[in-house]
């Protein structure tokens, strides 16, 4: 592929990506290049949620290339996901009018509870359809869908795995890999993170730190609804890939959520 960079740059593909990410090297200078990234990246850069955008250009083949500053750093560890930095960045992201405006402008998708239920049932195996606990969970979800107005939907990352958080050598935290971005109830993001990384007994404390106030009963109800929804989607994902040990671990988590709480 012709990147049309100035002479002296060496282009190296990044292992583990799908052929869209590269490191460009010129002596001691390095930049991160991504192919066909959404224009939404510019807004993320302005909000300092991703590493700084340096340039964007169109190639003769019609591809769009974006270059970002290369930062030495590492992914967050699982135990670091409860940190104040994480909750502050999420609050800033969910509250950004600029991000919401830009995502709407570039045609970002909106996901409602109905959409997520449809996503779960689409192509669902008969074994999972007939599983007693999963059936009970979906029945509760259908009967208690959150009623948050779409005007209150915000930009949600959609995949808050600890590996998608980049902590630079200078201590700056970024959130990367935005392929799953959507407009949705912020509780979708929050429940995804909390289910995987925050002990159940600490949920209210974590949400209070995120929102700068104690969560309302409605917020807690939405959190638990999306927690169950996310677990169902992960269970389906692991089943389809034959990751049955991981699937069973998430079924145990699901049982803990729906049996010990009265929110759904």
- Identify the pLDDT of residue 264: 57
- Residue 203 and residue 80 share a domain: yes
- Identify the pLDDT of residue 35: 74
- Identify the pLDDT of residue 17: 53
Alpha helices in 47-185 (DSSP H): 84-94, 97-105, 113-121, 126-129, 132-143
Convert the pLDDT of each residue in 140-155 to its tens digit: 999 999 999 999 999 9
Domain membership flag for residue 115: yes
The number of CA neighbours under 13 Å toward the Cβ of 134 is 23
Using CA atoms, how far apart are residues 43 and 40, in angstroms rounded to an integer? 6
Of 33, 67, 54, 76, the C-alpha closest to 175 is: 76
**CATH no. for residue 63?**
3.30.200
Which DSSP letter does residue 263 get? -
- Residue 120 and residue 40 share a domain: no
- Identify the pLDDT of residue 71: 85
Domain membership flag for residue 3: no
- Residues taking part in catalysis: 159
- 42 lies in which domain range? 10-70
This prediction's pTM: 0.86
Using CA atoms, how far apart are residues 148 and 112, in angstroms rounded to an integer? 9
Query: For the chain, what is the domain count?
Result: 2
- Residue 50 and residue 154 share a domain: no
- Identify the pLDDT of residue 131: 96
- Residue 105 and residue 66 share a domain: no
Convert the pLDDT of each residue in 28-64 to its tens digit: 778 888 877 778 888 999 999 999 988 888 777 777 7
- Residue 230 and residue 122 share a domain: yes
* pLDDT < 50 regions, the chain: 1
Of 194, 195, 196, the C-alpha closest to 208 is: 194
**CATH no. for residue 142?**
3.90.1200.10
């Amino acid at each position: 592929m012709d990147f049309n960079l100035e002479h002296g740059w060496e282009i190296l593909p990044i292992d583990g990506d799908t052929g869209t990410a590269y490191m460009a090297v010129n002596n001691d200078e390095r930049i991160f290049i991504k192919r066909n990234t959404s224009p939404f990246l510019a807004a993320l850069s302005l909000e300092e949620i991703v590493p700084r955008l340096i340039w964007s250009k169109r190639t003769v083949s019609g591809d769009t290339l974006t270059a970002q500053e290369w930062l030495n750093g590492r992914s967050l560890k699982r135990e670091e996901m409860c940190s104040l930095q994480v909750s502050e960045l999420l609050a800033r992201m969910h509250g950004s009018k600029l991000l919401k405006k830009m995502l709407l402008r570039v045609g970002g998708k909106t996901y409602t509870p109905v959409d997520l239920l449809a996503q779960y049932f689409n192509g669902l195996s008969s074994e999972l359809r007939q599983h007693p606990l999963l059936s009970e969970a979906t029945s509760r979800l259908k009967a208690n869908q959150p009623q948050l107005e779409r005007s209150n939907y915000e930009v949600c990352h959609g995949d808050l795995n600890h590996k998608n958080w980049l902590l630079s050598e200078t201590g700056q935290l970024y959130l990367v890999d935005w392929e799953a971005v959507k407009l949705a109830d912020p509780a979708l993001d929050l429940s995804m993170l909390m289910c995987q990384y925050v002990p159940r007994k600490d949920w209210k404390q974590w949400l209070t730190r995120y929102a700068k106030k104690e969560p309302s009963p409605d917020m807690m109800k939405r959190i638990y609804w999306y927690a169950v929804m996310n677990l169902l989607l992960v269970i389906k994902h692991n089943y389809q890939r034959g990751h049955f040990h991981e699937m069973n671990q998430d079924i145990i988590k699901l049982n803990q959520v729906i049996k010990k709480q009265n929110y759904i």
